[in-house]
Structure 1
């Protein structure tokens, strides 16, 4: 048998996996063994393939994953880019914080890109997230000054773009690299949301890395499939780290307790109030999650 080749799944559609390997792309099926293990190949997976033709083959092994998302189905994400518009629609800090918490929970580095800055002042959003150590970029479709900086920031590993419809995600990607030719949709003024123009997950090369344009998905959908239990939530807010273990009482929820070091950090102006408010809202929601319900709510692979 020919020696197996190692490559990266850059697209998956119709039961076929498109694997970039040695400067070539192979159209592959997955061997039946994956059905037995219950693990399906995902875009972003490093895989071993058995080549059966000039451009055909079979995926025979999935190499260890760093992380994965269920919806959108994507593996080995290094940077989780949260795209938020300054207007149409206006930024929702709770939605941003939920996405950011999921990124941290999955071991991804969160990044925020604020779009449509020609329509409003992004300084409030910038200040909140830069204060807690998150990389923030601002972008306007009317100028190019930001493009090279953002392109360089994404030119390594796999970067996934997230954001609710209408924030200009696909337009942003087209501006970063016109070769992407990703379809874009204008925001519907009547509905207040954009058209879902991106149909599937696909990786596009940029520098030494890849960017993934994912289907338009809401924070509600993201929450449904990426569960964070209340005991795990404190670790999903990076700015809490230096305060953890310093509360007056063990088992502190960091929501209302007397002697809470995190709340003290908020009162001292070191933790933005909006971030703590998001944490408290998410904590209350997480308290309602039952472990036995989690598997029941997961989709079949």
Structure 2
């Protein structure tokens, strides 16, 4: 058998083994050592070229250019991130949601809000904050699966990822998308008020011409693992600020305490949600502290 090359997408990476979906199945592959030298790690979502030879393990020889990439969990080429939040246990956390939205906006990945467990509590106020900003919001009842058809229709043909705190219902959502998958669901730790992690690594599942990645859950303090946005760039990751940027009195305005700020004026007029703006202020404070820490350790 001569050397044959084929293209596919990595659906799972475990250790040094990469599972690549190709036209006629799935190949378990190794990767060329040159990727390590170039400090490139193949990951789920990567579009790759695989070399196949007789009596040899298939080898990933090329990684196509990525349109985006997140490091933890390693995922590439996402079209959208389904930010899963629970109506109760744990209750919705606007700061966590806003941090995730900003990170994915900065990477040109469309954030979508999915509220689970709505059989336990209504969350229209929470949902309304994000609908007003132009984000899609879906509901899903964990026990009945009501609402799953709208989610399935939206992700059709896309590369999506489920993102959220442990215990918010990602595994239940996956079980409704893929009956028979029997994804383990995590109980909520009564002591900590957060779920137990039930997914170990990111893995892509084929669905309606696209893929969806189930990712490991995280605790609230781990949100920053998805990425970091410098303070002076945060304003660009809040889409409701966009029509006011460039209209402030000072060109270097960061929309905190400056006079003549168009963003804070819009806030006072009720055109920008106060909860979202509060998140922006807290994120600026955190970014400033992290910048100082990095500077001191250079």
Q: Normalised by the shorter chain, which TM-score bucket?
A: over 0.9
- For residues 93-139 of structure 1, the C-alpha deviation after alignment (integer angstroms, 9 at most, x for no partner) is 10110011111011100000011111111101110000000110111
Q: Is the 8 A contact 1:27 1:55 kept in 2?
A: no
CA distance 1:264–1:47, shift in 2 (3 Å) = same
- Cα distance in 2, alignment partners of residues 121 and 93 from structure 1: 15
- Cα distance in 1, alignment partners of residues 17 and 264 from structure 2: 51
Q: Is the 8 A contact 2:20 2:26 kept in 1?
A: yes
Deviation at 1:219, TM superposition (A): 4.3
Q: Which has the higher mean CA deviation after the structures are superposed, 249-258 or 119-128?
A: 249-258
2:124 corresponds to 1:123: yes
- For residues 229-274 of structure 1, the C-alpha deviation after alignment (integer angstroms, 9 at most, x for no partner) is 0111011111111111011211111112221111122122221110
Report the equivalent of 1:254: 255
Number of residues of Structure 1 aligned to a counterpart in Structure 2: 296
Deviation at 1:35, TM superposition (A): 1.5
- For residues 121-166 of structure 1, the C-alpha deviation after alignment (integer angstroms, 9 at most, x for no partner) is 1101110000000110111123343111011111122111111111
Report the equivalent of 2:59: 58
- Cα distance in 2, alignment partners of residues 107 and 4 from structure 1: 31
2:203 corresponds to 1:232: no
Q: Which has the higher mean CA deviation after the structures are superposed, 135-144 or 71-80?
A: 135-144
- For residues 47-70 of structure 1, the C-alpha deviation after alignment (integer angstroms, 9 at most, x for no partner) is 011013599400011100011111
Report the equivalent of 1:164: 165
Q: Is the 8 A contact 1:78 1:109 kept in 2?
A: yes
Q: What is the root-mean-square deviation in Å for CA atoms of aligned residues?
A: 2.0
Structure 2, unaligned runs of 5 or more: none
What TM-score comes out, normalization by structure 2 length?
0.94
- Cα distance in 2, alignment partners of residues 289 and 11 from structure 1: 32
Report the equivalent of 2:288: 287
CA distance 1:145–1:225, shift in 2 (3 Å) = closer
What TM-score comes out, normalization by structure 1 length?
0.93
Q: Is the 8 A contact 2:194 2:219 kept in 1?
A: no
CA distance 1:54–1:180, shift in 2 (3 Å) = farther
Q: Counterpart of 2:175 in 1: which secondary structure?
A: helix
Structure 1, unaligned runs of 5 or more: none
Report the equivalent of 2:39: 38
Q: Is the 8 A contact 2:167 2:185 kept in 1?
A: no
Deviation at 1:291, TM superposition (A): 8.2
2:77 corresponds to 1:99: no
